[in-house]
């Protein structure tokens, strides 16, 4: 009998692996019925990760967005799932336990069925509380193994981690290959090992960037994987995910039972995605993120952060080249900086204990590597700038590092009087809901249905205040206006049949030159009046 493999469309991750934003709620509600019409998805990733922050940055209510976006799938019997960063909830920094508990209650009430919980350090102490929170809220607890490739991340390492999570009550296991660098045969062995512990549902999530993931999908399915995360055009491949069409065809040929795709609906969704990109979302997507590159194998950076990486490079490149200009050094190109960054990540990563490169630790490793590159390019030494959040990771406050910290970093910590922590990370972050509840009462703000506004404020205080004041929407609209103007100017046609007279200095000798733009008759290049020439010579 054919074994069935089911599909999940990771719609949120498709966008955030490509760029900065996800569609607005009106766009999400528009596309949802057509995704359902495709008829091939048992699950859809609707929210989690950066979804809440994105809506706040739009100046819109994220709770309204989740409720309206999940409802059509709930009504159609399609399960919705979301991403949860364990100790960090759905933000970049640790979250108190009472906020984490409320988080699950709120998301279940809003229509989210499954929580996919991961710890960026694979520390099960950070994940296990979420199993209880999910069950108390009536949700399915899917616990993740963050896949990476290092001497300490062996098949035995991952199977043992899965065993601990299953024994703690996890309903499902996710193989979270967030950078797509898991080797196919290796991943098949991990799934096989999990299935020997218990025949528990396993879902595989991967990114296409380094080029492994189609082979990996086939291997994990042969080993017993039940669900595969997929994307679709025009946001499949590149830093995103394998396309549903290719995955479905491959698995069907391999003898698996898979759902058929309504291609008419597929093309409608594809067209809508392009429509959303043409509206404004494409302004935040780097064309380079649509490319696959084997260069990603070395640094192992995840697809989910590549959307912001290229923008970061532009700012850092400007800083480096200003220094080089001041010191008469050769300028650096963006590609040269990117390769230097990749090489530095490969240098830094083992020395900071091999944390799996997933949010927020991928950003920490990338940021630390970038600061090192900038220091080196400016004639300084490595490790001069280490942010407090990064120190928390190095000192054990966010969880236990998989590997050993380099001696030079241990010595630096001791010189600066920093203390290493070996206790439960959650103990560092006391409850805070009462504090935020009091602040909302003082501001006369509503706590919201199921305390969802209280949750949002406690999870994202600064962003929520910017949303409530209207500043977030004003800032977003201003940024959008600037980007549209920049795009329009970049595509403005060059002025034809224009000439300019310039005076240039060559070794102390002035020369007058005529510069022509467009198609110009050479015979007319000297037709410039003396007054016009004298004005030009004053430039």
Strands 509-517 and 498-506: antiparallel
List the one residue out of 284, 270, 277, 275 whose CA is nearest residue 236.
270
Residues 107, 87: Cα–Cα separation, whole Å: 17
Structure tokens at 316: 């850092």
* 232, 256, 286 - which closes a domain: 286
DSSP states of 212-262 as a string?
-HHHHHHHHHHTT--EEEEB-TTSBSTTSB-BHHHHHHHHHHTT-B-----
User: Mean pLDDT over all residues of the chain?
Assistant: 89
Give the mean pLDDT of 264-291: 92
The more confidently predicted of residues 139 and 291 is 139
- 242 and 373 share one domain: no
Given a cut of 70, whether residue 520 has pLDDT beyond it is: no
Burial annotation 3-42 (CB, 10 A radius, 16+ → b, else e)? eebbbbbbbbbbbbbbbbbbbbbebbeebbebbbebebbb
Q: What is the pLDDT of residue 450?
A: 96
Does residue 278 share a domain with residue 305? no
CA 241 vs. chain centroid, Å, equals 12
Q: Tell me what pLDDT residue 495 has.
A: 52
- For the record, the structure tokens of 485 come out as 């103007």
Looking at the fold, whether 486 and 345 belong to one and the same domain comes out as no
* Mean pLDDT, residues 444-465: 96
Looking at residue 372, its pLDDT comes to: 93
* Interval 113-117 mean pLDDT: 97
Does residue 232 have a cis bond before it (omega within 30 degrees)? no
239-254 per-position pLDDT tens digit: 899 999 999 999 999 9
Are 228 and 323 found together in one domain? no
Quick one: 351 and 420 in the same domain? yes
Does residue 508 share a domain with residue 486?
Answer: no
Residue-wise DSSP of 78-137: -EEEEEE-GGGTTSSS---HHHHHHHHHHHHHHT--EEEE--TT--HHHHHHHHHHHHHH
Examine the domain organization and report whether 457 and 337 are in the same domain.
no
Structure confidence at residue 80 as a pLDDT band (50, 70, 90): very high
Residues linked to residue 286 through DSSP beta bridges, in sequence order: none
Of the residues 227, 253, 286, the one at which a domain ends: 286
Give residue-wise pLDDT tens across range 385-413: 899 989 999 999 999 999 999 999 999 99
Tally of domains within the chain = 4
CATH of residue 241? 3.20.20.70
pLDDT average, residue stretch 266-279: 97
DSSP 339-377: HHHHHHHHHHHHHBT---S-TTHHHHHHHHHHHHHHHHH
What pLDDT is stored for residue 315 in this prediction? 77
Which of 428, 446, 479 lies at the terminal end of a domain, its last residue?
428
Place of tokens 């003396």: 530
Q: Considering the domain boundaries, does residue 29 fall inside one?
A: yes
Domain span at residue 337? 298-428
**Residue that is written with structure tokens 């780097």 in the block:** 286
pLDDT for the residue 536: 32
Contacts of 426 (CB under 8 A, 6+ apart): 87, 94, 97, 125, 126, 129
pLDDT for 533 equals 33
Q: Which structure tokens are listed for 502?
A: 């310039």
Do 384 and 468 reside in the same domain of the chain? Answer: no
What pLDDT, in 10s, does the model give residues 312-321? 777 788 888 8
Contact 341, 375 (CB under 8 A): no
Indicate whether 383 and 523 sit together in one domain.
no
pLDDT tens string 171-217: 999 999 998 999 999 999 999 999 999 999 999 999 999 999 999 99
**pLDDT score of 235:** 95
Percent of the chain with pLDDT over 90: 69
* Residue 1 belongs to some domain of the structure: no
In tens, the pLDDT along 25-55 reads: 999 999 999 999 999 999 999 999 888 888 9
Q: Cα–Cα distances in Å, from 407 out to 350, 353, 366, 396?
A: 12, 11, 20, 15
467: buried, middle or exposed (CB in 10 Å: 19+, 13-18, 0-12)? buried
114-118, 160-164, 291-295, 502-506: lowest mean pLDDT where? 502-506
Task: Determine contact, residues 46/66, Cβ cutoff 8 Å.
Answer: yes
Residue 499 banded pLDDT, cuts 50, 70, 90: low
305 within a domain of the structure (yes/no): yes
Asked if residue 16 belongs to a domain, the reply is yes
The yes-or-no verdict on residue 341 having pLDDT over 80 is yes
What gap in Å lies between CA 202 and CA 183, rounded to an integer? 17
Cα distances from 50 to residues 203, 355, 432, 460, in angstroms, run 21, 21, 22, 11
Six token digits for residue 229:
């995360």
Which tokens belong to 89? 């909830």
Rounded Cα–Cα distance for residues 89 and 117 (Å): 9
Q: Reduced to 3 DSSP states, what percent helix, strand and coil does the chain have, rounded to the nearest 5?
A: 55, 15, 35
| Same structural domain, 28 and 124 | yes
Higher pLDDT, 162 or 366: 162
- DSSP 8-state symbol, 495: P
Residue 291 counted as domain residue: no
Q: What is the pLDDT of residue 494?
A: 54
- Global pTM reads 0.85
Lowest mean pLDDT among 85-99, 156-170, 244-258, 359-373: 359-373
Two tokens, residue 68: 């309206």
Q: Is there a domain that residue 232 lies in?
A: yes
Q: Which of 232, 241, 89 is nearest to 179 (CA)?
A: 241
Per-residue pLDDT at 320? 86
In a domain, 484, yes or no: yes
Are both 146 and 262 inside the same structural domain?
yes
Is the per-residue pLDDT at 535 higher than 80?
no
* End-to-end alpha carbon distance in the chain: 82
Q: Compute the distance between CA of residue 415 and CA of residue 411 in angstroms, rounded to an integer.
A: 6
Question: Are residues 421 and 527 located together in one domain of the fold?
Answer: no
Q: Indicate the burial class of 536 (C-beta count within 10 angstroms; 0-12, 13-18, 19 or more).
A: middle
Burial 51-76 (b: 16+ CB within 10 A, else e): bbbbbbbbbbbbbebbbbbbebbbee
User: Per the domain annotation, does 293 fall within a domain?
Assistant: no
Q: Does residue 348 register a pLDDT over 60?
A: yes
Among 136, 140, 139, 183, smallest CA distance to 158 is for 183
């Amino acid at each position: 009998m054919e074994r069935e493999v089911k599909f999940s469309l990771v719609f949120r991750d498709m966008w955030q692996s490509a760029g900065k934003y996800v569609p607005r709620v009106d766009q999400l509600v528009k596309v949802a019925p057509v995704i359902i019409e495709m008829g091939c998805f048992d699950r859809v990733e609707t929210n989690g990760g950066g979804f809440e922050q994105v809506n706040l940055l739009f100046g819109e209510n994220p709770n309204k967005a989740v409720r309206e976006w999940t409802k059509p799938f709930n009504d159609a019997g399609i399960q919705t799932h979301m991403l949860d960063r364990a100790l960090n909830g759905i933000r970049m920094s640790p979250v108190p336990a009472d906020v984490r508990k409320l988080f699950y209650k709120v998301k279940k009430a809003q229509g989210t069925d499954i929580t996919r919980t991961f710890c960026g350090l694979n520390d099960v102490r950070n994940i296990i509380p979420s199993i209880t929170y999910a069950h108390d809220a009536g949700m399915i607890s899917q616990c993740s193994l963050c896949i990476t490739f290092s001497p300490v991340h062996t098949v035995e390492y991952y199977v043992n981690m899965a065993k601990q999570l299953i024994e703690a009550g996890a309903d499902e296991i996710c193989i979270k290959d967030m950078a797509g660098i898991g080797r196919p045969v290796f991943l098949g062995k991990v799934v096989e090992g999990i299935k020997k512990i218990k025949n528990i549902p396993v879902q595989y999530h991967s990114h296409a960037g380094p080029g492994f993931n189609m082979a990996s999908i086939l291997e994990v399915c042969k080993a017993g994987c039940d669900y595969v995360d997929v994307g679709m055009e025009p946001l499949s491949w590149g830093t995103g995910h394998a396309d549903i069409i290719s995955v479905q065809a491959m698995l069907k040929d391999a003898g698996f039972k898979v759902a058929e795709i309504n291609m008419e609906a597929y093309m409608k969704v594809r067209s809508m995605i392009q429509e959303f990109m043409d509206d404004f979302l494409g302004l935040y997507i780097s064309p380079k993120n649509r490319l696959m590159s084997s260069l990603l194998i070395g640094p192992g950076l995840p697809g989910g952060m590549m959307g912001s990486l290229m923008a970061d490079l532009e700012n850092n490149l400007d800083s480096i080249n200003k220094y080089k200009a001041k010191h008469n050094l050769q300028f650096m190109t963006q590609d040269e900086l990117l390769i230097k960054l990749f090489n530095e990540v490969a240098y830094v990563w083992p020395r900071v204990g091999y944390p799996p490169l997933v949010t927020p630790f991928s950003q920490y490793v990338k940021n630390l590597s970038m600061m090192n590159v900038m220091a080196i390019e400016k004639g300084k030494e490595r490790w001069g700038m280490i942010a407090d959040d990064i120190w928390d990771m190095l000192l054990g406050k966010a969880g236990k590092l998989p590997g050993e910290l380099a001696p030079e970093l241990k010595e630096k910590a001791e010189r600066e009087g920093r203390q290493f922590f070996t206790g439960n990370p959650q103990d560092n972050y006391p409850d805070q809901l009462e504090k935020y509840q009091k602040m909302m009462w003082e501001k006369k703000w509503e706590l919201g249905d199921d305390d969802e506004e209280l949750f949002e404020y406690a999870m994202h205080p600064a962003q929520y205040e910017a949303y409530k004041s209207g500043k977030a929407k004003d800032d977003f609209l201003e940024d959008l206006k600037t980007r549209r103007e920049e795009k329009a100017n970049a595509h403005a046609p060059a002025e034809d049949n224009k000439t300019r007279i310039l005076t240039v200095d060559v070794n102390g000798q002035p020369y007058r030159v005529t510069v022509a733009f467009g198609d110009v008759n050479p015979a007319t290049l000297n037709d410039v009046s003396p007054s016009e020439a004298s004005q030009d010579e004053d430039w």
